[in-house]
Structure 1
């Protein structure tokens, strides 16, 4: 009987911990990127899916903007090889917090999908798709940092989903649009 009580307590605790540890999606504020360039957001969050050219802001004042994708041509040395088509995004980090922010952390929670399948990042040191990988920059309070990231996509235009997360447990900003 004692082992059943211990087991029931362990199951209940696991359920409580599982609920506490799951970050949510798009709980921050979405606005036009150009409307508030470099300015922190102080309004309460609205549930909305951002798209290209909009800004997603977390409650602490950190924000991210993703410009509409443009096609790029991977070089012969790009990885992955033989992409049907490639698109490149310009991503801007806006630090409206009171602390420095390491931009490489933002990519820690990045996920990319094209037409509901994984979109592989392109690493292209010799071509116009860019070197790819994680940006290595510290963004001071009140400053912005912009970098580019390319992905391999299908031959025809389709739906692209790009998720970014500033810390492991933070809400994920998920951008959605055509690419």
Structure 2
């Protein structure tokens, strides 16, 4: 009688390692979304460690893939957490500066000129520049600060988010702005915190779009005196609120006041 056939070897369980790698890559790319980066990073770390353990036991054959996914997951978590701290500290600094200005105005003599000499006998000369600085600019226009730093916000152009996009909703209109900062001053400046915000025609905050095709590519690092830098930012605007949107941005948090640009999102 023929001996019984040998059982077939089990199929390698490589799914967890591959999943960890994919989640780790997406989490690292989307670290600007903070919670998305942290969540995907944690999942990648867990799946990667489990996949690595299975590979060590001989149940999987992609030990390197699982380990890479776990490492990318850890990186995504760390970078997202650091970015969250940076944003919170920046917002806290802005809040403190605003509170100082409010306290200064509240304690000042109502008849005194807070900003210094008037430049005119009747005191009207000091008020006119302040009023002009509050005037919103049209998309495509530039604003130059006293030290020579110039910010230009382009007119919005239609943008088609890819299949991996985060922040875009079906039915919304996706538009992309190009922001140019020219350092016309004498000192090096840091444009990392030059992050715009957008409000739609109804006054609601608009979500920024991130995808794998550089829908949003923020400023990174410093700009030397006499040099310039460009960055792109995409937003998802509700289709019924595109008539007049409002973009607000400044070249460096705490050092420069934000300016406002307005126009249609189309």
Q: Same fold (TM over 0.5)?
A: yes
The answer for the alignment partner of 1:88 in structure 2 is 176
Q: Matches of 2:264 and 2:182 in 1, distance apart?
A: 24
Change (3 A) 1:19 1:176: farther
The answer for the alignment partner of 2:116 in structure 1 is none
Q: Which has the larger radius of gyration?
A: 2
Residue deviations 1:42-61 (CA, integer Å, cap 9, x gap): xx774332111111122121
Task: Verify: 1:170 aligned to 2:237, yes or no.
Answer: no
Q: Matches of 1:81 and 1:167 in 2, distance apart?
A: 26
Q: State the SS of the aligned residue for 1:19.
A: helix
Report the number of matched residues: 138
Task: Verify: 1:151 aligned to 2:235, yes or no.
Answer: yes
Deviation at 1:82, TM superposition (A): 2.6
Q: Matches of 1:92 and 1:123 in 2, distance apart?
A: 19
Task: Verify: 1:112 aligned to 2:198, yes or no.
Answer: yes
Please, which of 125, 149, 152 is the counterpart of residue 65 of structure 1?
A: 152
Residue deviations 1:11-69 (CA, integer Å, cap 9, x gap): xxxx8763349xxxxxxxxxxxxxxxxxxxxxx77433211111112212111001100
User: Which aligned pairs between 1:28-67 and structure 2 lie closer than 5 A?
Assistant: 46-47=132-133, 48-67=135-154
With a CA cutoff of 8 Å and minimum separation of 6, indicate the structure with the bigger relative contact order: 1
Deviation at 1:81, TM superposition (A): 4.2
Q: TM-score, normalised by structure 1?
A: 0.68
Q: State the SS of the aligned residue for 1:146.
A: strand
The answer for the alignment partner of 1:7 in structure 2 is none
Deviation at 1:118, TM superposition (A): 0.6
List runs of 5+ in structure 1 lacking aligned partners.
1-14, 22-43
More helix by proportion, 1 or 2?
2
Change (3 A) 1:16 1:145: closer
Runs of 4+ in 1 over 6 A off after TM superposition: none
More strand by proportion, 1 or 2?
1
List runs of 5+ in structure 2 lacking aligned partners.
1-98, 106-128
Q: TM-score, normalised by structure 2?
A: 0.47
The answer for the alignment partner of 1:3 in structure 2 is none
Q: Matches of 2:246 and 2:148 in 1, distance apart?
A: 23
